[in-house]
Copies of this chain bind each other. A is one copy, B any other.
Amino acid sequence: MKNIFVRDLKVGNRIEDFFVLRKKELKEYDGQKFLKLELGDKSGRADAVIWDEAERFYHQAEVGDIVQIKGSITTYKDSLQITLESLKKTEEKVELSDFLPSSEKDIDQLFLRFKDMASSVKNPHLKALMQNLLGDSALMENLKLAPGGKLWHHSYLGGLLEHTLTVAQICEKAASLYELVDRDLLITGALIHDIGKIKQYSTSGFIDYSDEGRLIGHIVSGYDLITRKIEKIKDFPQDLALKLKHLILSHQGELEMASPVVPQTLEAIILHYADEMDAKSGAFTHIIKREKTKDKKWSDWVPLIKRFIYLGEEEK
């Protein structure tokens, strides 16, 4: 079990603890090999170095592993650095949520609501599909863990489930407002639209893109996954299958956002805006929570959306 987090490290202390190995590089200085590392946990990252037996330790663990280390906290170029005496991949069972940021919400609670929404679908073909998905326990375990993004919104364990549920609730509302909407199609689409994100990230020790995430992309991964599930449902109507797959493929809304087709049905255009609303609201919320302090009315410049965000008035 972890004893101390990166943000609490103090120069001069001894340390014996678990971290994620984020980077490793074998370097040379004045003819001597040494090992330069980056360690991390959910609270931050720290540089580390091993001077003795660098080459041996280099082979003890791979990037993404949880490692057990011994050493002391020093400084280098005015920054904190952990000087390690030893490092090895741990065999112990650790809490992934110590190493990666997690949703603040109760995942089991979220999952119950996911099941409830799935159960509310009445169209027999879509209902069968959702039951099939719920019955795939490996998939469901992944759904509960997966992040919703790498950098920008819902980028924490459970983020995908959280995002999925909010999108589905906005769609539920929209279904009640627009008479031509096929409610069951829209809700099913909302519940599965980002399912490909399960394959987009590798989350062994920190969140990064998987090869499939980069070479195929989460949209096509999700399309692929759902296509195979549909094939297992007997007599699933072809028109319905096309419309459901279209929801996954078009949900980013524009070609330049990586959707290979643009929304061409009423359900698709609604799903797209529900997704956008939650993605952007999630990002704004994240920035406000991270940056709001007593004196600060404005966030720092946010390059991704090219603006400052208003954090709210100063407290009196």
* A270 touches B (CB below 8 Å): yes
A259 interface residue (CB < 8 Å to B): yes
The interface centre, meaning the residue of A216, A249, A257, A262 with most chain B CB atoms within 10 A of its CB, is A216
Q: Does A96 contact B (CB under 8 A)?
A: no
Interface size on A, as a range, is 35 or more
Tell me if A310 and B260 are in contact (CB < 8 A): no
Q: Cβ of B281 and Cβ of A270 under 8 Å apart?
A: yes
- Given the known inter-chain contacts A217-B260, A249-B220, A260-B260, please indicate yes or no for A242 contacting B212, CB distance below 8 A: yes
User: Which A residues from 1 to 51 make CB contacts under 8 A with B?
Assistant: 10-11, 30
Contact partner, A258, options B166, B180, B255, Cβ 8 Å: B255
Within 8 A of B (CB), among A185-240: 211-212, 214-217, 219-220, 223-224, 227, 239
Count the copies: 6
Stretch from A106-114, A128-136, A139-147, A271-279 contacting the other chain: A271-279
Q: Which residues of B contact A214 (CB under 8 A)?
A: 261, 264, 298, 308, 310
B residues within 8 A CB of A77? 78
Contact A285 B178 (CB under 8 A): yes
Contact A288 B180 (CB under 8 A): yes
Decide if A309 is an interface residue (CB 8 Å cutoff).
yes
Question: From residue 281 to 316 of chain A, which have CB atoms closer than 8 A to chain B?
Answer: 281, 284-285, 288-289, 295, 297-298, 305-310, 313
Is A150 interfacial (CB-CB < 8 Å)?
A: no
Contact A166 B170 (CB under 8 A): no
CB–CB B173/A264 < 8 A:
no
A266 with B281, Cβ < 8 A, contacts A177-B170, A219-B260, A259-B260 known: yes
* Interface: A154 (CB within 8 A): no
A280 within 8 A of B: yes
Known: A77-B78, A169-B177, A310-B265. A277 touches B273 (CB 8 A): yes
A243 in the interface, Cβ–Cβ < 8 Å?
yes
- Which chain B residues lie closer than 8 Å to A289 at the CB level? 180
| Contact call A273/B280, Cβ cutoff below 8 A | yes
- Given known pairs A173-B169, A265-B309, A288-B180, the reply for A215 and B246 (CB within 8 Å) is yes
Asked whether any CB of chain B lies closer than 8 Å to the CB of A121, the reply is no
A117 at the B interface (CB under 8 A): no
Known interface pairs A170-B173, A211-B297, A273-B273; 19 further A-B residue pairs with C-beta atoms within 8 A, sorted by A's residue number: A169-B177, A178-B281, A179-B285, A180-B288, A211-B239, A212-B242, A215-B246, A215-B264, A215-B265, A217-B249, A246-B310, A255-B256, A256-B256, A258-B260, A264-B307, A264-B310, A266-B281, A269-B284, A270-B277
